[in-house]
Structure 1
Amino acid sequence: MNKPTDPTRTIVSRRSRPAKEPLSREQIVKTALDLLKQEGTPGMSMRKIAKALDTGPSSLYVYVANLQELSAAVLDEGLCEVVLPEAQKDSWKKPLIDALLSYAKVLYESPGLAELSLSTIPIGPNSLALSEYLLQRLHEGGITSTQAAWGVDLLLFYGASVAFEQASRNQQGTTLQAAQTFYQSLDAKRYPMLVGVQAEMFSGGPERFRWGLEVILQGMLQTDTRS
């Protein structure tokens, strides 16, 4: 015998539920980037990305060939926040350095992105725009094609490594104080040079980063790739 229907009960049809957004490459990349910013590189797993999208890992491979391809797309998506200043007639170096400062800042503010940048070559419109911009400024500075091509790689690696080091230190809650204390205890007779520059070893901040860029640029201007 059928039980009487409860008149106060609300029946929800599956058809009345909001339709799930169709899966797409763009959606996968954006979700992966969000997880990367939240959890670092451990968040960049196909299983976690699929779970966030309420689908199975196998569904993702319809849009990306593998994790390496996805990582390249995610890094490129993150680089959309890099600011490329207007070119200046009287200075090629200032806008180039400002662009690299913006690049390092974007990576620093997203530690997972900084880590990804050291193991992944981004392929996409944002990374291409950044490389094109740097090559244009180097060309304006009179740097030859080979030096510029090699130099862009070196400049980006320098920015990424500094951003990763500082972001990792902040994430782990560590400071330079322990290292500074250790250097202050060194034997001046055994390590006279280190004792003499111990203050400078831990100084600089943003100016130190700029100095590093200047050193690389000066080396590019003065080094002949044919030698």
Structure 2
Amino acid sequence: MITNSIVTNMFVTMQAEYAVDMARPEPISRRDRPAKPPLSRAAILDAAVEVVHRDGAAALTMRRLASELDTGPASLYVYVRNTTELNALLIDRYLSELDLSWDGREPWRERLQRVVDDYAGLLASQPGLASAALTTWPDGPHYLDLLELLMRLLDEAGVDIETAARGVDLLLQHATASAAEWAAHATPTGQDLADLTETLDAATAERHPSLHRAGSTVFTSGTPDERTRWATTAIVNGILASGSEHPHR
């Protein structure tokens, strides 16, 4: 009887332990987990594009990017030194979307205007990207392609190489600043032209006679595209006057 009781108790205990084991979740072997994609500069830039597209360039930090990639920030520094380099690489990635070809058939001035317009439009299309570009030189082959095209176009116009280099810098600075300005105006908290008009209309004939005589309309008329094109034309004319080897070309 005692032996039977012991056997019965052991059987009941084994059943209970088995039931507990069945209820307990089975541990997942690390070998069975899907492996994370290996980190690379390309993978980091892909994730950065997603962050900018979703939340704007201002949200892009190394910590945020590490979270997107399910890794620690320290892992990213193997591929990217800091946020500044990240922005430089990211802007170059976006520049890959531009058409930077020229076969020589389109007149140089028209091609130059078109690429400057496209560049400004690209920066303005992503929140915060133009602001980042104001203080960051892009880093990569697409930026070099952009510079190469602009230098070729100014060479075709007869501009000497030093003036052309400075002219390219000025053209891109203005296009970047214009994109940043109009992108900022498009935000919910940004100023609009009504704010500027109100300020200009406050000019009095006694203190600001030239402003009062001109009126606010001359400062605010024209679309962003029209104003950018006017500025590009003015800058190019200045470049030609400053360093053109063939002024009538």
TM-score by structure 2 length? 0.82
Which of 124, 127, 132 pairs up with 2:140? 124
Instruction: Give the letter aligned to residue 117 of structure 1.
Output: A
Deviation (angstroms), 1:117: 0.7
1:157 paired residue number: 173
Matched position secondary structure for 1:111: coil
Unaligned runs of 5+ in 1: none
Deviation (angstroms), 1:73: 0.7
Instruction: Give the letter aligned to residue 235 of structure 2.
Output: I
Check conservation: 1:100, 1:156, Cα contact below 8 A: yes
TM alignment of 1:99-178, pairs within 5 A: 99-171=115-187, 172-178=189-195
Residues paired across the two proteins, number: 225
Task: Tell me: CA distance 1:24–1:220, structure 2 relative to 1, closer, same or farther (3 Å).
Answer: same
Distance 1:66 1:200 in 2: 44
TM-score by structure 1 length? 0.89
TM alignment of 1:83-102, pairs within 5 A: 83-84=99-100, 86-89=102-105, 91-102=107-118
Unaligned runs of 5+ in 2: 1-12, 245-249
Instruction: Give the letter aligned to residue 209 of structure 1.
Output: T
1:179 paired residue number: 196
TM alignment of 1:56-95, pairs within 5 A: 56-84=72-100, 86-89=102-105, 91-95=107-111
Bigger-Rg structure (1/2): 2
Distance 1:119 1:90 in 2: 32
Check conservation: 1:85, 1:95, Cα contact below 8 A: no
Which of 215, 218, 238 pairs up with 1:219? 238
Does 2:217 correspond to 1:199?
A: yes
Task: Quote the RMSD (CA, aligned, Å).
Answer: 2.3
Matched position secondary structure for 2:135: coil
More displaced, 127-136 or 109-118?
Answer: 109-118
Identity of aligned residues (%): 37
